Structures are given as C-alpha cells and as structure tokens.
Amino acid sequence: MPNFHHPIAGRMLGALAAVSVLLSPVLPTSASAADTPSTGDVIAQAGAITLGGADVRALVADLSSSDRAAVTSNLDALEQVVHADLVRRAVLADIKASGFDHQPDTLLQLDRMRDEALVRLWVASKGVVPASYPSAADIEAAYAANRQALAAPTQYRLGQIFISAPDGGDPAKLAAALRKASDIADKLATADFSQLAAQQSEDPASASRGGDLGYLPEDRMLPTILAAVRDLQPGQVVGPIKTQQGLHFLKLLDKKTGAIPTLAEAHDRLVTLLRSRRAAQLERTYLSDYNAKLGVTVNQIALARLQASLPR
C-alpha cells in the first residue's frame, strides 16, 4: 500500500550511522543469554536474535513522546520499530563477527564519535531543569499562548486511485502509467469514484474498500498529499499527484478538525514542552558564557593561507 506516513523505523535504522551505535551492546553472533528475551514471550525473531516483551517495552520507552504515542496507538508503527531494532541488532552482530569494530580506521572514527557524544552529554548536563519548573502559573501562561497550536491534528478521510510509477523506474512503464492516469481522469467526470478505484487502483488493500484509506492525521501525511487535499471540500477529487511511489487520484470523503484540549488535558504535554525549552535555554547560556570565558581568537590571515592549501 502506498505510504503517506513518515515511518518511525527509518529514524531507528538511521541511528546505525549515529552515536547511538556506540551506546548499544554488540550482540553475539550465535544464540546466547544475550539473545534470550528477558520475559518468556518471544515477540519477534531474526535467526538466533529474539525480542521479548521487556525488550519491546524498553524500545518504546526510549522513543520521543510523539513517536511513543504513535506506536501505542498504531500496531503497524510498533511493528516497524520492532523490525528496525532486529535489523540493528543483526547488523551489530555482523560487525563483531567481521572484526570491523577492531579495524584501526574504525577505532579512530569511534574515538572521535565518542568524544563528540561526551561533549553533547556534558552540555546536556548543564541543561538540567529544576524539578520545581514549570510552576502552575507558567503552565497556565503557556496554555493561553498556545491553545490553537495544542489542538489535535486535522484528520482527512481519503479515497484514492493509485497507479504505480516509482521514481527512477522504467520510462516505458512511466509512459504507460501516464496514459492510464489520463484515461482515469477522463472517466472521473462521470464514473463513481469508489467503483473506479475498485477496478483501476493498483493498491489492492484500498481498492478492496473502494479506495478508502481511512482517516489520516495531517502531521503524518506527505507534504505533497496534504497540500493537495487541504482545501478540498468533501466529495471533491484531485489528481493525478506524483509521489515517489506513483500517481494518486484522491477524493476527500470526510474531514475532522482537531479539538483544542482543556488545560488539564494539555498539562503533561505543556510541562514536557516547557522543560525542554528551558533545558535548551540553559545549554545555550552555558555555551555562550563558556565561549566568552575562553576568549577565542583566530588568525584569519594564517587561516586563509591554510584554506588555500586544503585539498578540494
């Protein structure tokens, strides 16, 4: 099914190239106690590597609050996270088996990354926010200033007719997809959208429901899709819209505007937001003061000469 969402798992797999790799245990290449779930239930498995309930709970606990909300309400999103972590663990096992983690160049890069991570951790330690912050007055002021922004995202119930035409694909197939899109555009003037979706859409999952994709929150929709449907009225159709996956005709079936939460409902979210902002402010203040204390000077003439000799 064409995916209009931004996957959480992509960020987890991206972490393989980030500092978080340094903080993750390297798993053994064969089954051992380290591969055995800490609870008796095996949730997922890849070869000798298994994840149990406690492992998945730990994964979810490490997510951001927004991603945690997504995986606790969407089984597909949670499955992506579990799948991504199994891949991460398997790659780490391969790294250890190959000896890549002991190669001189690797060790040099790891040392640099550890230093960078240590600096970030040190600076973060300077941004520790007192437990007493924010006060009730701070929370009330933040609520008054951000009521509209706190509203739940608008949700769009969409119907689609999808034609596969992935970027970088066969030019002949793209030409055929464009011809099919032109034919569908002509038929939409008189044909029933749901019937046409059932007959012509190349996304079997939604085609079996007459193209109905269900409700999609705007904050998890592709920008091109959101821009196309934001101003539609229920019953209106737009398309074809090109995405990386193909061509989409979209019909707005329904739209739900997000309600503004009460202060009580928004309380925990506001506390998290205010503490995060205060931590960032404390970190910036520390770095600014530290920079002033160092009194850094740069010989720009010497630096310019050096720049001219740098390899390009």
- Run means of pLDDT, 10 residues per run, the chain, 312 residues: 51 40 32 45 88 90 85 88 92 94 95 95 94 95 90 90 88 90 90 92 91 89 90 91 91 90 92 94 95 92 94 88
Residues 6+ apart with CB under 8 A from 92: 21, 24, 25, 26, 27
Give residue 201's identity as a one-letter amino acid code.
Answer: S
| List of residues 6+ apart from 174 with CB closer than 8 A | 165
The confidence score (pLDDT) of residue 9 equals: 53
- Burial class of residue 111 in the structure, from the number of CB atoms within 10 Å of its CB (0-12 exposed, 13-18 middle, 19+ buried): exposed
What is the structure's pLDDT at 91? 94
| Structure tokens, 183 | 């034919």
Say what the pLDDT of residue 8 is: 53
Q: How far is CA 101 from CA 26, 71, 95, 127, 260, in A?
A: 10, 32, 6, 33, 51
* Both tokens assigned to 276: 């995060």
> Which residues are CB-contacts of 128 (< 8 A; sequence separation ≥ 6)?
279, 282
